[in-house]
Amino acid sequence: MHKYTIVNSFGCDPFTGNPVAVFFDCDDLNAKCMQQLAAELNLSETTFICLPQNGGDARVKIFTPVNQLGFAGHPLLGTAVALAKTRKCSKIKIETLKGTFQFSVEPVKESPFTAHVEMEQPTPVISSYEYQQALLEALGIAKSTLPVDMYDVGPRHVFVGVESISVLSKISPDLKKLSVFKNMAALCFSPDDAGGWRLRMFSPAYGVAEDAATGSAAGPLALHLCRYGFAEFGENIKITQGVEMGRPSRMNAVACMEQNTPSIKAGGYGFQIATGEYFV
């Protein structure tokens, strides 16, 4: 028997944000069992908390319905909310396959199940995406407003810019063609009407046709915008995702540059919506 909770990440109202299932005390589960549980629950990600091995407070394994990820934003934000609530702490070091990262959790006094989280994110490996023309065709987009670059932070995010929310909302990708692109997510973005940015994510390769909130892409998007002069380094960038899915999610991200080395952070609210016990 394993206790678990479900947290909606990057939302603070009912039926907003992106849900993640968080399982506690999972050292007795192997990777095959974790993958089967993630597939059965069929959320975009499920996390499993284990004992730390490298000086952190917890070691977390992350699974989509089809594969394991080294790092992911919304699952780890939800996990940080769950850990902070159960352990009564506000600073948490979480070990992942991509390294150990610091999370700061600030509870919301008016809502005992809600907290705001800020997280460190891995330094991305940046490259120009070599299959960009085929990707544009699969997305049904004629061209990108910025260079089509890939940011590898564990999951690999490829950014495609469009000129307006109107264009963004009408994107209807060919998921069969998109599934040919292995180990990547296509992130389409546009400026919004409030000085921030709108985002959509499509990734059949990760078992997710469309994602409501891709936290691991928030920091890379901030860096992408800064690299091409659409934002300033150190600026707090507001990102909205999931609107077209009826799951509006709000993220914030900051990209900094020191001695030609980027660093990125992301954050947002998360709230616990359910608890239960799973008989494994």
Q: Which residues are catalytic?
A: 45
Picking from 190, 197, 188, the residue whose alpha carbon sits closest to that of residue 166 is 190
Exposure letters 138-156 (e unless 16+ CB within 10 A, then b):
bbebeebbbebbbbbbbbb
Alpha carbon distance 114, 139 (integer Å) = 36
| Cβ–Cβ < 8 Å for 6, 21 | yes
Question: Strand 18-23 and strand 2-9: pairing?
Answer: antiparallel
Cα–Cα distances (Å) from 121 to 118, 140, 168, 182, in that order, read 10, 31, 26, 23
Question: Which tokens belong to 159?
Answer: 């950014």
3-state helix, strand, coil in the chain (%, to 5): 20, 40, 35
Distances (CA, A) of 22 to 49, 118, 125: 7, 18, 28
Lookup result for tokens 């389409």:
188
* Residue 113 Cα distances to 13, 82, 177, angstroms: 11, 9, 40
Q: How far apart are CA 155 and CA 170, in angstroms?
A: 25
Q: How many CB atoms are closer than 10 A to CB 36? A: 15
